[in-house]
Amino acid sequence: MRKRFVIGNWKLNGGLAANAALLDKINLGVGINAGKTEAGDQSKSCGVCVPSIYLAQVQHQLADGFVDWGAQDVSRFAAGAYTGEVSAKMTAEFGCRYTIVGHSERRAVFGDSDAAVAEKFGNAKNAGLAPILCVGETLEERIAGRTEIIIMRQLRAITDKFGGAGLDGVILAYEPVWAIGTGKTATPAEAEAVHAFLRAEISKFDLEIAANIPILYGGSVKKSNATELFAMPNIDGGLIGGASLVAEEFLGIWHAL
């Protein structure tokens, strides 16, 4: 059975006091109903990806709980004269289990190319982090019928460099750009079709990896639509933006998993 995840992506949001209050509530809510507390059930996991500057705070506050944490991005470089960057290894020192790479906001706003995403992916793996690799098409690309071409280009940037075996231990996230922060969620059927396609393509590399790789959906997931999305056979949880900043919403999504 592959593992299921609900992971928050705080993006450029937070503050010391607000984080502390939010983490307290999440820690408590997840602690009470955590899969982990039920006789060795490791089949699902809750986490938050926070701005790197807050990793020390999050590590301190979540260390004894059931919620994992990760970074939202890492440098494509391992070390050196790269002002402003944070390396994968640095985030790993703060207990991160994973880091997002290739989020559409990084690709669109900060110019992360497929090649840069592949370098970040490699650095994450070298540091012992699970990459949460985001793929997804824009509205124009979907209307033009190019969804599969786009997400395969994004996936191939990884498999061309690391082989199919490079997807071992990875979390994949399908995040249609048109559904991010828009309130417009892909229907469960629309998302499931893309997830099933991704899994079928990955099975051409490796059947076992395809069976085990968690594929999360991201894009306007709320507690009101999480249950129907998570009921789809190839949707293994969600990557949550806006709703991860509101404890009650985020916990509602977690309980829908």
Q: Contact positions toward ligand 13P, by CB under 6 A?
A: 9, 103, 175, 180-181, 218-221, 239-243
Q: Give the whole-angstrom CA distance, residue 61 versus residue 5.
A: 20
The amino acid at residue 88 is: A
175: annotated active-site residue: yes
Closest separation in Å from C-beta 69 to ligand 13P? 15
Give the chain's end-to-end CA distance (angstroms, integer): 14
Closest separation in Å from C-beta 83 to ligand 13P? 26
Residue whose CB is nearest to ligand 13P in the complex, by number = 241
Torsion sign, CA atoms 176, 35, 199, 153: positive
Q: Give the whole-angstrom CA distance, residue 68 versus residue 80.
A: 29
255: annotated active-site residue: no
∠ CA(245), CA(249), CA(253), 5° rounding?
110
Q: Would you say 122 or 242 has its CB closer to ligand 13P?
A: 242
Q: Would you say 34 or 186 has its CB closer to ligand 13P?
A: 186
Which of the residues 105, 119, 141, 175 is marked catalytic? 175
Q: Would you say 101 or 155 has its CB closer to ligand 13P?
A: 101
Q: Would you say 138 or 203 has its CB closer to ligand 13P?
A: 138
Taking the CB of residue 160, how many other CB atoms lie within 10 A of it? 12
Torsion sign, CA atoms 244, 245, 251, 252: negative
R_g over Cα of the chain? 17
Closest separation in Å from C-beta 73 to ligand 13P? 11
Q: Would you say 122 or 238 has its CB closer to ligand 13P?
A: 238
Q: Give the whole-angstrom CA distance, residue 242 versus residue 9.
A: 8
Closest separation in Å from C-beta 177 to ligand 13P? 9
Q: Supply 156's token pair.
A: 């191939």
The H-assigned helical ranges of 34-87 are 55-62
Closest separation in Å from C-beta 141 to ligand 13P? 17
Catalytic residues: 103, 175
